[in-house]
Amino acid sequence: MSYYSCVVKLSVMAGRQAKLLGKADFERVLKELTYYSDPHRALAMFLLSVRAGLRAAEIAGLEWSMVLDASGRIADVMNLEDRIAKKKSGRQIPIHRDLRAALQTLLRHSSGEGPVIRSKSGGQMKPRSVVNWFRVLYGDLTLRGCSSHSGRRTFITRAARVVHRAGGSLRDVQLLAGHRSIAVTQRYIEGGSDIQKKLISLL
């Protein structure tokens, strides 16, 4: 059985993709995580999804060697290796300031070796466990339609909306997402009614 075959496909529910997280949803999740038994681990898991766009299996397989530099500090860029990525879609992802802070805190409570996100027993989490963790999180907050893929979709959509400000293109978003084609990336991006109204007004 492949590493990915055990992942529950929750990104498409009732014919729809996993819902995006709005600003209010994001704030509610952050508050909820402060009540978890291990809030540092919980925050890092959530931000790896929404600030780095990682898939559940990538969160489960991420190791400290992929996020630390030679001096043992959090690097500027995460080096996601092919062996933990879907279809060997390893890639480099600049580490967002929020995620950096969360990883730094988590590192202070870790040996800095092995999995970044460990199971409650101390071992490596399984992809299915990560999927279930997000299911419980969003379920407790009654965020219907949200799943472990919601953070990834949110990451990709937000990146696509602001990439022009960085002088980039959708190709840059594709590379960050680890997609083989821009067509796949485009399917992840959700439009916004306000944006569309503004677009029409500019025609």
pLDDT reported for residue 126: 96
Q: Are 89 and 179 in contact (CB under 8 A)?
A: yes
pLDDT reported for residue 6: 35
Q: At what angle do helices 150-162 and 170-177 cross, to 10 degrees?
A: 160
Q: What is the DSSP string of 133-181?
A: HHHHHHHHTT-TT--TTHHHHHHHHHHHHHGGGGT--HHHHHHHHT-SS
What letters, b where the CB count within 10 A reaches 16 and e where it falls short, cover 62-80?
bbbebbbeeeeebbeebeb
pLDDT reported for residue 82: 94
Query: What is the pTM for the complete model shown?
Result: 0.86
In order of 135, 154, 165, 166, 199, the CA distances from 128 in angstroms are 10, 21, 36, 35, 40
C-beta atoms surrounding 125 within 10 Å:
24
Q: Are 19 and 143 in contact (CB under 8 A)?
A: yes
| CATH numbers and ranges of domains, the chain | 18-201 (1.10.443.10)
The pLDDT tens digits along the chain (203 residues) read 333 333 333 333 334 689 999 999 999 999 999 999 999 999 999 999 999 999 999 999 999 999 999 999 999 999 999 999 998 989 999 999 999 999 999 999 999 999 999 998 899 999 999 999 999 999 999 999 999 999 999 999 999 988 888 998 999 999 999 998 988 888 888 766 665 566 545 54
Query: Could you tell me which residues come within 8 angstroms of residue 86 by beta carbon, excluding any fewer than 6 positions away?
Result: 4, 55, 57, 58, 178
